[in-house]
Amino acid sequence: MHGWQAVATAVAVAVATLSLLVLLWQRPKRDAEVVFAVVSGSMALSLMSPWMGDAPAWMRWAVAIGGSATCNGFWLVSRALFRGEGGVRRVHVLVAVGVALLIAAYRGATLGAHAAASPWASALDSLLTLASSSLLVLSFLEAVRGWSSSLPPAERRLRVAFMVMFAGCVLSTTLVGAVPAVAGLRSGVVALCALAMVLFTHAALRYRGRAPLVVASPASSPRVEGPASDEEARLLHALRHQMEVLHAYREPELKVLDLAHRLGIAEHRLSRLITQVKGERNFNQMINRYRIEDACRRLADPAASPSVLEISGAVGFASLGPFNRAFKAAMGCTPTAYRAACRAQAAASADADDSTARTLSSALR
């Protein structure tokens, strides 16, 4: 490995290592970030394996074992990204660990000079190819699962970008290894694809922090009858205080993690409180409901004169476009039409009152 391929590999190793350190430092951590920290470290070790030719045997074994959580680990990352908290369960971790053991066994079996030609190594290679291919397909399908036109535009863009990036990386590394004319470029292509996956996943995790995906399982549908314990009652009261007294929803950059910190609980506990106790679909729906209710009060006030744009900012929307879309989805009309209807109704009521007053005045005469 020489020239640009060595440079690309070194950069990819450095970025993957930095990714691991950043994720370890971050507090608190979601499921996707915990899993991706493992994947980042494993990716860095896997990329270093071509440099281990003259290293001691123990070091080559350490790299072989440590670099065995790449495609299997990324499957867990994709589940956490597109299924929300709880998308990665014990059975999925066990499957990923099983594939990691296969990868480590295969790499260990091929460390010797002639080990790659042994029947043991060939059998492991076939089994590993089948398992890895299955997990790669499942990783891609996670972005397709749950796709619908009702998804927010930003969520649809994230899923399309994930599918394009992931499919492009898998096809590039597969084809460059299968075509003899370009097989010598494989290490550089693998490094570039690893770099792209690390950077993209960090961007996706950052987006998910702003727009968490909370999916209630069918076995535990949201409860609307109220809290089931004193602790839930206390947290629900604190949540309502934040929304109805302190008006936290008016902050445009409010995230579920920020609100969880204010309540002194973990993010997944707040998500569970919102969906299973408060009966909301997710955090974003709850915040938008409070914002739309506030906007309706302001728009219906005949004495108020702020513009629709000013109202959208006052209730917490960062711009007019998202406000108009959310308002129309909730109320069935635009904010301008709602204000006009409220004013027309108020004018009709005022005319009716004047007519009644004139009738009474004439009767008294």
Name the more confident of 279 and 76. 76
Asked if residues 277 and 232 have their Cβ atoms less than 8 Å apart, the reply is yes
How far apart (Å, rounded) are the C-alpha atoms in residues 275 and 312? 26
Check pLDDT > 70 for residue 216.
Answer: no
Residue range 251-279: average pLDDT?
A: 91
What's the CA gap between 187 and 177, in Å, rounded? Answer: 9
Look-up of token digits 């005045």:
361
Percent of the chain having pLDDT more than 70?
85
Q: Which pTM was predicted?
A: 0.58
pLDDT digits (tens, 9 = 90+) for 19-68: 999 999 887 777 888 999 999 999 999 898 877 767 787 787 788 788 88
Alpha helices, DSSP H, located in the chain: 4-25, 31-48, 57-66, 71-83, 90-109, 119-144, 153-178, 186-210, 230-240, 256-263, 267-272, 283-300, 308-314, 320-331, 335-364
